């Protein structure tokens, strides 16, 4: 036996950044792979693995067991000439790990500063921000199959990473707990990436012309703090929708009526359109319905003003999807996991 305990009828309110009240029939925090296996032996299924709860919307009580991943540890496991491989426990906080990397002069994750949540959830949607995605530094991960308790290694190709996507959102959805992630970080000659969003401008405001990875991290923290609502103050899960990728012909059709339509060309010939812009054009930005609404500074973010139910947020999300589809003929896809 391990130190695992299984609580009954537990409120999940403290464990999701949307601040939604939902209950789990059984709940436990696991500190090790052994404790996880023990919990899986005792736990009524279905089992939901939760990290920081910053990308989930609960629309109902969880009928089985919620297991919160608290498996810790950061360790350099291999050294190369200009790189190291670092293995991180799935229950480590992502931003705490980024701060650790920056403090140890290890480059590659500084643009991903201040993304909420756990390291174990980072591969699930291939977290990304400011021109960098997890897959850019990813080596592999260890996971435990929830149905059997068996260990499995996933290489980078096996994860099938895409834009806010991986095999853990598709074929292997809800089947594994990611217990550790190994990343490859540079030890010198860092590839500094300041071309995306406001990083260059913010560094200029900070009077920094030759930025270090610590400077880039500080700039990203500054931008994100100004732009995004702090879940500790106002419930949210960051971007609620993915930015749609459409064929160029659709872009050209919409541009006839909306010449100012922002877009980014992708290597495969399609174009990415900012979902926030589409939502704003439909008049949702800053609009409140009941206890939920569209954040006033960023239309892509749905917020809980206090006491909202998951169903309320879901209803708003689907009203937005319908309105964007009616106006632009583009179907938005939620980025948040609706449970």
Ligand X SMILES: Cc1cc2nc3c(=O)[nH]c(=O)nc-3n(C[C@H](O)[C@H](O)[C@H](O)COP(=O)(O)OP(=O)(O)OC[C@H]3O[C@@H](n4cnc5c(N)ncnc54)[C@H](O)[C@@H]3O)c2cc1C
Task: State phi, psi for 279 to the nearest 5 degrees.
Answer: -65, -40
Choices 37-45, 52-60, 197-205, 277-285 (CB under 6 A): range interacting with ligand X: 52-60
Among 51, 244, 293, 334, binds ligand X (CB under 6 A): 51
Choices 59-67, 110-118, 187-195, 326-334 (CB under 6 A): range interacting with ligand X: 110-118
Question: Binding of ligand X at residue 56 (CB under 6 A)?
Answer: yes
The edge-to-edge listing of strands for the beta sheet with 245-246 is 245-246, 271-272, 264-265
Per-residue contact string for residues 147-186; x = within reach of ligand X by CB under 6 A: ---------------------x-------xxx--------
Asked if 286 and 271 touch (Cβ cutoff 8 Å), the reply is no
In the set 87, 164, 222, 224, the catalytic residue is 164
Which of 104, 182, 78, 107 lies closest to 139, judged by CA? 182
Based on the residue annotation, tell me whether 151 is a catalytic residue of this protein.
no
Region label for 189, one of left (φ > 0), alpha (ψ between -120 and 50) or beta (otherwise)? left
Based on the residue annotation, tell me whether 239 is a catalytic residue of this protein.
yes
Question: Binding of ligand X at residue 220 (CB under 6 A)?
Answer: no
Beta strand ranges found along the chain (DSSP E): 7-11, 23-30, 47-50, 56-57, 62-69, 74-79, 83-89, 128-129, 132-133, 138-145, 151-155, 176-186, 235-239, 245-246, 264-265, 271-272, 288-289, 292-294, 301-304, 337-338
Question: Binding of ligand X at residue 124 (CB under 6 A)?
Answer: yes
Task: Provide the sign of the torsion angle of the four alpha carbons 173, 278, 301, 325, taken in this order.
Answer: negative
Among 19, 53, 89, 293, binds ligand X (CB under 6 A): 53
CA 84/CA 82 separation, integer angstroms: 7
# chain residues binding ligand X, by CB under 6 A: 34
Among 10, 12, 17, 38, binds ligand X (CB under 6 A): 17
Interacting positions 73-92 with ligand X (CB under 6 A): 90
Question: Binding of ligand X at residue 59 (CB under 6 A)?
Answer: no
CA 9/CA 239 separation, integer angstroms: 30
Question: Binding of ligand X at residue 69 (CB under 6 A)?
Answer: yes
Closest to ligand X by CB, 254 or 302? 302
Choices 124-132, 147-155, 198-206, 308-316 (CB under 6 A): range interacting with ligand X: 124-132
Based on the residue annotation, tell me whether 164 is a catalytic residue of this protein.
yes
Which of 279, 242, 229, 241 lies closest to 116, judged by CA? 229
As annotated, the active-site residues are 164, 239, 335
Binding site for ligand X (CB under 6 A): 17, 48-56, 69, 90, 115-118, 120-122, 124-125, 127-129, 168, 176-178, 228, 231, 236-238, 337
């Amino acid at each position: 036996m391990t130190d695992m305990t299984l609580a009954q009828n537990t409120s999940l309110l403290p464990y999701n950044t949307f601040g939604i009240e939902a209950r789990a029939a059984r709940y436990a925090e696991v500190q090790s792979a052994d404790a996880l296996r023990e919990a899986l032996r005792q736990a009524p299924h279905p089992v939901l693995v939760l990290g920081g709860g910053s990308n989930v919307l609960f629309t109902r009580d969880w009928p089985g067991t919620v297991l919160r991943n608290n498996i810790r540890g950061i360790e350099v496991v291999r050294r190369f000439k200009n790189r190291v491989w670092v293995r991180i426990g799935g229950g480590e906080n992502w931003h705490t790990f980024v701060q650790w990397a920056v403090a140890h002069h290890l480059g590659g994750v500084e643009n991903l500063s201040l993304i909420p949540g756990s390291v174990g959830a980072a591969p699930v949607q291939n977290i990304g921000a400011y021109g960098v995605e997890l897959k850019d530094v990813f080596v592999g991960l260890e996971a435990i199959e929830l149905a059997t308790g068996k260990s499995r290694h996933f290489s980078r190709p096996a994860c099938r990473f895409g834009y806010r996507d991986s095999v853990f959102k598709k074929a292997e959805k809800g089947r594994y707990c990611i217990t550790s992630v190994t990343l490859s970080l540079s030890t010198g000659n860092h590839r500094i990436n300041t071309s995306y969003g406001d990083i260059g401008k913010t560094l200029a405001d900070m009077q920094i012309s030759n930025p270090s990875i610590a400077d880039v991290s500080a700039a990203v923290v500054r931008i994100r703090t100004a732009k995004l609502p702090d879940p500790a103050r106002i419930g949210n899960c960051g971007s609620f929708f993915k930015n749609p990728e459409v064929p160029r012909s659709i872009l050209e059709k919409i541009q006839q009526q909306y010449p100012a339509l922002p877009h980014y060309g992708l290597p495969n010939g399609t174009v990415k359109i900012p979902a926030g812009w589409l939502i704003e054009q439909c008049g949702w930005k800053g609009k409140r319905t009941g206890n939920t609404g569209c954040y006033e500074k960023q239309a892509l973010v749905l917020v809980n003003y206090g006491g909202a139910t998951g169903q309320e947020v879901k209803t708003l999300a689907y009203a937005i999807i319908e309105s964007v589809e009616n106006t632009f003929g583009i179907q938005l896809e939620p980025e948040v996991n609706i449970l």
